[in-house]
Amino acid sequence: MSPQSSNPATTPPAEPTPLVQTRITNRLADFPWWALFLAFMGVLLVYSFTTNAQYKVIIQTLIAGVRLTVIVTLVSFTLSMIIGLITAFAQMSEGNNVFSVIFRNIATLYVQIIRGIPVIVLIFYTALVIVPASINLLNSLGDWMVSMGWLAADNTLSSLTSRGVSFVTRGIIALAINYGAFSAEVFRAGIQSIEKGQMEASNALGLSWIQTMRYVVMPQALRRIMPPLGNDFISMLKESSLVSVLGVGEITQLGKKYSAASFLYPQTYNTVAFLYLSMTLILSMGVKYMEQRMRTGEEE
């Protein structure tokens, strides 16, 4: 038997280590230069606010609008959450009975209409059409209840007028109606993302529909719903500037008035942009932190 030749085992060559120049290039490419630019602009504006007399006056003028902007956003977002949750449940109502069909179609019609109308158009329509029409309807209801002897002649419903509803309230209603439609889709998608087996297991345990939603579905759905709702809150904060078309004295309206009177357009709108950007960046970091905490909670 002829001896077989054996080839020595060859080890694969080690991968070459990256060159220092390549590593430095990669790090420079991944560096968040946008954050550095924002930090530089922020420091420059803060320095101007503390040293420039014009900027000092502008920031003192606009700071009063920050409070109103925050109030409008918080109240509108709270109302939109309520509207969105009710609409989502109405859209998901099952069954062929009359009430389920009516509620499901009304909710779907509301979402489709509102999502197809620009926000500024909806603000005008709410302030100048929906609110006056609602007041006229309440007046008619009050007069009818007076004729039935259920209310006194000087009741609140009959005496309510359009001038009694401020444009701040009208702007809040408009934003709530607008974002209620988007919140409804977020709630619906989050609730429907929960496996049907959860509902079936809850029914097997004898839980009612309300108990199932409260103790089983909603705690799980909120983990998926909260980040999109946080982004909606940031969007609402920015779009609250649109209520300035009604003369509401928030940041944008005060900036428009001051720049028209002083002709300091660059300084004024630099400050307006800085205020909005500061608030949105802080909220964005909060939303990212919330997403990380919820992701960590799901992994545990």
CA 81 – CA 61 distance, rounded (Å): 32
Contacts of 166 (CB under 8 A, 6+ apart): none
Residue 108 and residue 120 in contact, taking contact as beta carbons nearer than 8 Å: no
Which H helix or E strand runs over 77? helix 53-91
CA 219 – CA 221 distance, rounded (Å): 6
- For the domain with range 70-246, which CATH number is right: 3.30.565.10, 3.30.930.10, 1.10.3720.10, 3.40.50.850? 1.10.3720.10
Q: How confident is residue 110, by pLDDT bands cut at 50, 70 and 90?
A: very high
- Please give the model's pTM, rounded to 2 decimal places: 0.82
Domain boundaries, the chain: 70-246
pLDDT tens digit sequence for 131-148: 999 999 999 998 899 888
pLDDT tens digit sequence for 220-270: 888 889 889 999 999 999 999 999 999 888 999 999 999 999 999 999 998
Q: What is the pLDDT of residue 240?
A: 92
Higher pLDDT, 35 or 91: 91
SS3 34: helix
Would you mind telling me the total number of residues written for the chain in this entry? 300
User: Which residue type is seen at 62?
Assistant: L
